[in-house]
């Protein structure tokens, strides 16, 4: 069972997942990074460019999913260094600090809320996220072309690409493609016919939608929706 709710941290989502079957489904690219808790471990999920399937037997998870582009400031590491990875927080932060945080989560009645508290505390001690990057996400999520978005933000192609690597883990075209995928999945899950989904999400046609879904998720759209 998966549950999520809005975080006190702007744009973030707190979530929990408890396995109900033999195995977990794939985690799909969404432009985000997460701070995770499972079985006594604090981990960081880097930005995905392909489906991620958790290894090992099913287990419970708690996490906070940060708004796209904001996690690197909180974690102090460029996103591209964590692309398609799950790493222990102790690999990024001093071990004694992580041990204190781990004890804090273990002692909390709700691990998800404890993770949120850690993220909120961290945000109060770091530089606020770059507002320009938030506008970039908003424009691309509205379906703006990368070139038009860069022009509105006053950034050259190289500068935009460099900043996207640090904030999102990949370039602006990949970010736009992943955000478009998420728009399409939301429409399809709501019952929108595939052809209409393709048009409303910004694809050239339904075959283009089908190819993109298969490439980014590893399975056809119908099978993906059937998995829930």
Distance of alpha carbon 113 from alpha carbon 62, whole angstroms: 9
Q: Which residues contact 208 (CB under 8 A, 6 or more apart)?
A: 198
95-136 pLDDT, tens digit each: 999 999 999 999 999 999 999 999 999 999 999 989 999 999
Domain range 131-227, its CATH number among 1.10.10.60, 3.90.1150.10, 3.10.129.10, 3.40.50.720: 1.10.10.60
Among 33, 67, 62, 28, smallest CA distance to 47 is for: 33
Strand order from edge to edge, sheet including 86-88: 2-6, 13-17, 61-65, 34-38, 41-45, 86-88
Tens digit of pLDDT per residue, the chain (228 long)?
Answer: 889 999 999 999 999 999 876 556 789 999 999 999 999 999 999 999 999 988 878 889 999 999 999 999 999 999 999 999 999 999 999 999 999 999 999 999 999 999 999 999 999 999 998 999 999 999 999 999 999 999 999 999 999 999 999 999 999 999 999 999 999 999 999 999 999 999 999 999 999 999 999 999 999 999 999 876
> What whole-number distance in Å separates Cα of residue 12 and Cα of residue 82?
19
Exposure string over 64-102, b if 16+ CB within 10 A, otherwise e: bbbbbbbbbbbbebebbebbeebeebbebbeeeebeebb
Cα atoms in the 13 Å half-sphere on the side-chain side of 58? 11
Domain residue ranges in the chain: 2-124, 131-227
């Amino acid at each position: 069972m998966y549950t999520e709710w809005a975080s006190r941290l702007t744009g973030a989502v707190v979530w929990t997942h408890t396995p109900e079957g033999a195995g977990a489904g794939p985690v799909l690219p969404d432009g985000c990074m997460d701070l995770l808790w499972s079985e006594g471990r604090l981990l960081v999920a880097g930005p995905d460019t392909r489906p991620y399937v958790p290894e090992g037997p099913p287990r419970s998870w708690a996490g906070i999913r940060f708004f796209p582009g904001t996690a690197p400031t909180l974690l102090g590491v460029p996103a591209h260094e964590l692309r398609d990875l799950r790493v222990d927080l102790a690999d990024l932060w001093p071990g004694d600090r992580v041990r204190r945080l781990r004890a804090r989560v273990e002692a909390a009645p709700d691990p998800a809320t404890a993770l949120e508290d850690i993220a909120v505390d961290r945000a109060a001690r770091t530089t606020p996220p770059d507002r320009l990057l938030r506008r970039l996400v908003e424009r691309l999520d509205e379906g703006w072309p990368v070139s038009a978005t860069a022009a509105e933000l006053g950034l050259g192609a190289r500068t935009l690409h460099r900043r996207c690597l640090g904030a999102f883990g990949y370039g602006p075209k990949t970010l736009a493609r992943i955000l478009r995928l998420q728009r399409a999945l939301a429409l399809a899950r709501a019952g929108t016919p595939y052809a209409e989904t393709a048009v409303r999400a910004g694809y050239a046609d339904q075959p283009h939608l089908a190819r993109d879904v298969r490439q980014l998720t590893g399975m056809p759209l119908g099978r993906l929706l059937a998995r829930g």
